[in-house]
Chains A and B, each alone.
Chain A
Amino acid sequence: MNIAVCVKHIPDPNLPGELDGQRLKREGVQGTLDPGDEFGVETALQLKQAHEGEVTLVSMGPPQALEGIRRGLSMGADKGVLVSDDSLQGADALITARVLAAAIKRTDFDLVIAGVESTDGYTGTMPSTLAELLGVPQLTFTNAIEATGDALKVHRQTVDGYQVVECSLPALITVTAGVNEPRYASFKGIMAAKKKPVEELSVADLGLSADDVKVAQNIVDISQAEERKAGEVIEDDGSGAAKIADYLKEAKVI
């Protein structure tokens, strides 16, 4: 089974983000492979162990996005594709999907894996758009994946449990954080990654036109996210348990 995994190199989410105009500053800041994408890479590596095939990491970003690909390669992926082009600066989720679709179509894929959403932009719309552009079924929010020959059986996480869904391949899945425990790259893996092929492509290499990558989205305004509110303290006057139960019901946890 050949698997393409979408990976994104993002500003380190553990450091305070900086703004560049109305966009997140990406140049000259400490970057990292999106932690959400490590689950996708691990999923692909586990499927590969069971079903053979190749794992290709596909990324769009500035040249330093190579670091994110290298991280995935050192975990054990086989090769990488990086689409890097000045014209892609400020690309929105739609353009990203278009570019990744064009890059993935060039590979012989049975399955595409993406995280549910990126840990920087958080739009969460890219994977679904990508599946549409590739013309393959999409199974989102999966947290257990089983492949059987040319079909896939997954658990889709829902608010109150999970659905068991099957589909044929090729397909696209998004994996939730916690679907597995991503492996650590060993030093041997890091050294091996140096020798693995990474294809670097421009927009023109993909056969896309300037219009295809023209940003249609317009950011009107940005503002600081609301501070997380302090927790609610319930004084136990004998009705504490009931109050907590009510709260959990309201949150639809029980």
Chain B
Amino acid sequence: MDLDLSQEQRDFVRVMRGFVDDAIRPNAERWDEEHALPMDAVKQMAELGLFGLPFPEEYGGSGADFLTLCLAIEEIAKVDSSLAITLEAAVGLGAMPVYRFGTDEQRAKWLPPLATGDALAGFGLTEPGGGSDAGATRTTARLEDGEWLVNGSKSFITNSGTDITSFVTVTALTGSEDDRKEISAIIVPTGTEGFDVGKGYRKMGWWHSDTHELSFNDCRVPQGNLLGERGQGFKNFLKILDDGRIAIAALAVGLAQGCVDESIRYAQERSAFGRAIGSFQGLQFKIADMAMKTELARQAYYRAAWLKEKNRPYKKEAAMAKLYASEIAVDVARDAVQVHGGYGYIEEFPVCRHFRDSKILEIGEGTSEVMRILIARELGLPEA
């Protein structure tokens, strides 16, 4: 049994900490106020090779393992969840489907600019009428004269409206057989006539991540833009989400660790009744619990990533890591605000932003309820 990161992973984490301290920490609050994805920061992350971490070098990637990507996400999330989700969605949701399910031709065409961070892609599964409920998919794609005619709309799509967004992969009904709906994944390039990107949402958190509602009105894309087998779209996307859950757990752990770090610092600096508030046992117990939950959540996502790397089943562990990490992230962020008292409620203190940013973790890429259903199924309990 070896619970250590590799020497290269440890070296990489040190580089990430330096990068985050220099390039992200001083700007995170300002970017959030500006409510726009800072493209300069995206460029710096690209120069560091972050967007290509898990892809082979032939596609412009770094050939790292999945855990290394998670480590990068965790380090960024300690300070800036908006940029962490930008990276997670770009790699895990934007580029990964092309890498995993694309033909050689599709990979060669779409993947290199994504791996180098020169372009971003979105992943369109969720619709106004539903996310995890495949049967609720309303978007349609009909083959007509060698082209897909796409109609419908998608909700909450990350990285879908930036200046460098090159395409969105959408799930769409491509037919039905014996009452079973056939859902396929189709690449819709930015700029396709009839593909409209709505204005950015006004969100509770993740203020400087790029999230839009998309609509497709008689969008025509080449037949060759079908990604993966016809009829496998939803199934393939669920596989992508299994990985995404480990990455979201890493993001949640980063946020929680950021809250722990800020709370320790504040508890030592702030005094009340003539002593540092960190010397009061009430606060010590609170911060000890926060640190413990964070560490346990970290071990959960490390293990899920490790199972994936070993090609062993990891669906249950990924769901558990995501569920646990996101729920403790909300708890830890709430407690961090409490440690900070009134200052925790104002934007000048990072824990205020962390608290706003934490709630979505229990919702995005599968809600806590869906996670529990998944775990119950993996445990062999009957489907409803």
A residues sitting closer than 8 Å to B (CB atoms) are 70-71, 74, 184-188, 190-191, 194
Residue contact B8 to A184, C-beta cutoff 8 Å: no
Task: Identify the interface centre among A185, A186, A190: most chain B CB within 10 Å of its CB.
Answer: A190
Q: Are B53 and A187 in contact (CB under 8 A)?
A: yes
Are A186 and B18 within 8 A (Cβ)? no
Chain B nearest Cβ from A244, distance in angstroms: 27
7 shortest A-B CB distances, which residue pairs? A186-B49, A188-B62, A187-B62, A190-B11, A187-B64, A190-B8, A185-B15
On chain A, the residues within 8 Å of B57 by CB distance are: 188
Q: Are A71 and B62 in contact (CB under 8 A)?
A: no
Q: How far is the CA of A58 from the CA of B48 in the complex (A)?
A: 26
Min CB distance B150 to A, Å, is: 36
Cβ of B19 under 8 Å from chain A: yes
Q: Are B19 and A187 in contact (CB under 8 A)?
A: no
- Which B residues have a C-beta under 8 Å from some C-beta of A? 8, 11-12, 15, 18-19, 47-49, 53, 57, 62-64, 68
Select which of B19, B62, B63 is within 8 A of A184 by beta carbon: B19
Interface of B is mostly: helix
Nearest residue, chain B, Cβ from A181: B22
Shortest Cβ distance from residue B76 to the other chain A in the assembled complex, whole angstroms: 13
Contact B12 A187 (CB under 8 A): yes
Q: Identify the interface centre among B19, B49, B63: most chain A CB within 10 Å of its CB.
A: B49
Q: Is the CB of A191 within 8 A of B18?
A: no
B49 contact from A71, A188, A194, Cβ within 8 A = A188
Residues from chain A with a CB closer than 8 A to the CB of B49 are: 186-188
Q: List 28 A-B contacts (CB under 8 A).
A: A70-B11, A71-B11, A74-B11, A74-B15, A184-B15, A184-B19, A184-B47, A184-B48, A185-B15, A186-B48, A186-B49, A186-B62, A187-B8, A187-B12, A187-B49, A187-B53, A187-B62, A187-B64, A187-B68, A188-B57, A188-B62, A188-B63, A190-B8, A190-B11, A190-B12, A191-B8, A191-B62, A191-B64
In the assembled complex, the Cα of A186 lies from the Cα of B45 at a distance in Å of 10
Residues of A close to B19: CB separation below 8 A:
184
Which A residues are CB-close (under 8 A) to B62?
Answer: 186-188, 191
| B201, chain A: closest CB distance, angstroms | 32
Name the CB-closest residue of B to A74.
B11
Whole-angstrom distance between the Cβ of A188 and the nearest chain B Cβ:
4
- Chain A residues contacting B64 (CB-CB under 8 Å) are 187, 191
Q: When chains A and B are docked, how far (Å) is the Cα of A122 from the Cα of B64?
A: 38
- Cα separation A186 to B62 with both chains bound (whole Å): 9
| In the bound complex, CA of A33 to CA of B302 (Å) | 28
Give the CA-CA distance A190 to B64 in the complex, in Å: 11
